[in-house]
Chain A
Amino acid sequence: GESVGLHLPTLSVQEGDNSIINCAYSNSASDYFIWYKQESGKGPQFIIDIRSNMDKRQGQRVTVLLNKTVKHLSLQIAATQPGDSAVYFCAEKSGGFKTIFGAGTRLFVKA
């Protein structure tokens, strides 16, 4: 069945370090992946996306890596800042309308 899941529920990093948040998916037909950031009391905020015909995409301080062989997705945040503290969700679409969210990883940034 379809599922998108995360390896770790929480991640704690020192300010200035790089963060890596991982995600596994099971639907090999998935062709579009998204990372969202959710701060307390707010809706999910789009961070970066990647299509299945790519294996890497970079944004401002963020990089998404896609490994289709092992159905693994990761979000790398460079020079993590206190403002990066939030819950991060990976999500997947497989050509339709529905977006399937993973369980979420809470990122704590220690000053």
Chain B
Amino acid sequence: EPEVTQTPSHQVTQMGQEVILRCVPISNHLYFYWYRQILGQKVEFLVSFYNNEISEKSEIFDDQFSVERPDGSNFTLKIRSTKLEDSAMYFCASEDRTTDTQYFGPGTRLTVL
């Protein structure tokens, strides 16, 4: 069964550093998402991406964040200057728009020191 994959599984970085989280969505999906989940809290929407542009973003997704689909398979989330409060699990999801069902990857745990 096809699945969303994410790398790395765990990223540790120093405050102020840039990080890039990577995702490979399911191959025939066209809609892509990033969510984050701070430890013990609910999953929060960050951004949706379709046709090589952002279709919707939350107030969390400020100028420090950017997304890109650099090739036909990868979907990345970049945080330019990480803050302590960026520490969270980051989940990528891709969607089959014929059913509206989003499939989530296993997540990247980002730890900012």
**Is chain B a partner of chain A in the same complex?**
yes
Dominant secondary structure at the B interface: strand
Map CB proximity to B onto A15-45 as digits: 1 under 8 Å, 0 otherwise: 0000000000000000010101010011111
Contact check: which of B42, B56, B100, B105 meets A43 at CB < 8 Å?
B105
Contact check: which of B4, B42, B45, B104 meets A102 at CB < 8 Å?
B42
Number of A-B contacts (CB under 8 A): 56
* Residues 38-75 (chain B) with a chain A CB within 8 angstroms: 41-45, 48, 50, 55-56, 58
Is A62 part of the contact surface with B, judged by Cβ < 8 Å?
no
A99 to B47, CA, bound (A): 10
* Residues 43-88 (chain A) with a chain B CB within 8 angstroms: 43-46, 49
A41 to B107, CA, bound (A): 8
Residues of A in contact, count (CB < 8 Å): 23
A-B contact pairs, 28 of them (CB 8 A): A32-B100, A34-B102, A36-B104, A41-B106, A42-B106, A43-B4, A43-B93, A43-B104, A45-B104, A46-B102, A49-B100, A49-B101, A89-B42, A89-B43, A97-B33, A97-B48, A97-B56, A98-B56, A98-B58, A99-B33, A99-B45, A99-B102, A101-B35, A101-B42, A101-B43, A101-B44, A101-B45, A103-B41
Q: Which residues of B contact A (CB under 8 A)?
A: 4, 31, 33, 35, 41-45, 48, 50, 55-56, 58, 91, 93, 100-107
Ranked nearest first, the 5 interchain pairs of A and B with the lowest CB-CB distance are: A43-B104, A97-B48, A101-B43, A97-B56, A98-B45
